[in-house]
Amino acid sequence: MFRSTIVLLATCCTPAMAAQYFVDPAGSDANPGSAAQPWLTLQQAADQVGPGDRVTVRQGEYVGFHLNHGGAAGMPIEFVAEAGAVISTRNPTTPDGINLEGASHVVIDGFEVVGMPRAGVRTVGPFSGGAQSFAQHVAIRNVTSTDNGKWGILTGFVDDLLIENNRTSGSIDEHGIYVGNSGDRPVIRNNRVWGNRANGIHVNSDVNSGLDGVIEGAIISGNIIYDNGLGGGSGINMDGVINSRVENNLLYNNHASGVSLYQIDGALPSTGNVVANNTILQASDARWALNLQDGATNTTVANNILLSEHPFRGAIDASPDSLAGLSSDHNVVLDRFTTDGGDSVRTLAQWRTLTGGDSHSFVSTAADLFVDPAAGDYRLKAASPARDAGWNAQAPATDLRGALRDTGAAADIGAYEWLRIGDYNNDGAVDAADYTTWRDAVGQTGRLPNDDTGGAVGQGQYDAWKAQFGAASGATGGGVPEPAAWPLLLTACGATLGVRLHFAGRLVSVISSVGPSSSGGPSSIPGGSPRSTRPTHASNGRGAPSK
């Protein structure tokens, strides 16, 4: 009896197996949606899925979909596109490619969405009985959203939102990424945003929406944002955003403001925010690199590079009512500051007298700071004055690439930490000892110290180390160890180092192809083509201006 009760309880408490569905241009909506008999349309999948279900979308061209129900905590609905899955026609219900209407616990992953009348991807909280409420835990990742009528990605009334690793460009009227309407704790990270008419990333709380009109706890990190703003706006625009962080972003060649903290239709000014370790280089027709307005008080500005090619605008424009609680230091700046939109301009020395801050900040140029700014390579060069000049207490633990920041002496200033590529044991030299560190880490996820390659440790990190072998004083020089022999060492040591055996067979085939590296670092960052047509401002369909 006791055993039967246990079996019954186990059966009752085990959730049903989540379904795996497939969509294919060669499928049929009369099919069961299996791998062998896939559906034809995305809308069929959206109408059928439930909590925990996963839809794999195969290569091909599709009409978009409208989803008005969600998953559950720990059991999201997932739509995952394989390479080459393109949405080129709006969904049947709204003028967007993908529309999530009041749907929580949903993951959208990997689609290309092109030329929608409104947004490439849109997600908003539920509106029912005349009342607005929040959706929760929506993730939009690895999406390419291009040449859409208003926005690449639009969200409103979503708490705990994640927007990561997307590419949004060419929005004809407005913004690349628009997060709006009071949703708290959004994370917007590692996106590439370029060529949009207005803002690159716009975060707008909107008190007119009927809720609290404040966005709190936002993280905007690791984004590369360029060639936006011909119609106005900012690279990163924040209206009514409080207690949030803007860090490790690279902004260059934007045509309006760089980063703006202000209030137009938020319930509160943008206060209590941290702007740290960003690299901002404004175009010759742009506004100021950092824009603090409308009572944007208690702002921390640390470890940023704030430069401009404009003939008289420069580093920071802060209104008098935004100076209270300003904590600004360890920034690399252009020698131009203002408190009145540029009607008068102060030097760094005059700015220090006015604010009491920026005592460790200094003036420099792109040519002195970066590897090759003319080619779009904004990594710090070895002799950069931004090296070891930062404010450790405000520096993020990693840089834009995810590489660990060396805060032993001081963190570097800007989005990129300088790395002695290949110095994997972090002793200041690239030598045989780093080979041992690399060998012991092969196959592991994450990063070695001073690894500019990324991904699981393997061939790429070896090539980078080999290309830099002998760099720095104290390097041992001599012959470069060849990795083809060390799988035998792993096998010999297998009795005590069994974990190595898991990698040995797999690595023999990888390492047999090792040859000289042609490069020890990443390629330069490409540019993008800006768009130019008339902007309008909207969020979930209701008004929302931008700075």
Q: Which of 241, 362, 333 is CA-nearest to residue 292? A: 241
pLDDT band, residue 405 (cuts 50/70/90): confident
pLDDT band, residue 474 (cuts 50/70/90): very low
CB count in 10 Å sphere of residue 47:
15
Contact 188, 247 (CB under 8 A): no
CA dihedral 360, 366, 372, 375 (to 10 degrees): 140
pLDDT tens per residue, range 419-435: 888 888 877 789 999 89
Q: Which of 252, 251, 291, 250 is CA-nearest to residue 270? A: 291
pTM over 0.95: no
Residue 189 has pLDDT above 70, yes or no: yes
Contact 54, 32 (CB under 8 A): no
* Side-chain half-sphere CA neighbours of 71 within 13 A: 21
DSSP bridge partners of 158: 135
User: Exposed (0-12), middle (13-18) or buried (19+): which is 510, by Cβ within 10 Å?
Assistant: middle
Distance from chain centroid for Cα 470:
34
pLDDT band, residue 409 (cuts 50/70/90): confident
CA gap 486, 492 in Å, rounded: 10
CA gap 152, 146 in Å, rounded: 6
pLDDT tens per residue, range 26-37: 999 999 999 999
Q: Rounded mean pLDDT of 331-348?
A: 97
CA gap 222, 188 in Å, rounded: 8
CA gap 104, 134 in Å, rounded: 9
Residue 503 has pLDDT above 90, yes or no: no
Residue 539 has pLDDT above 70, yes or no: no
pLDDT band, residue 455 (cuts 50/70/90): confident
CA gap 244, 270 in Å, rounded: 9
Residue 505 structure tokens: 């067979």
Cα angle for residues 447, 450, 454 (degrees, 5° grid): 40
Q: For residue 500, which amino acid is it?
A: R
DSSP bridge partners of 261: 238, 292
Selected residue with higher pLDDT from 346 and 429 = 346
Domain ranges in the chain are 432-511
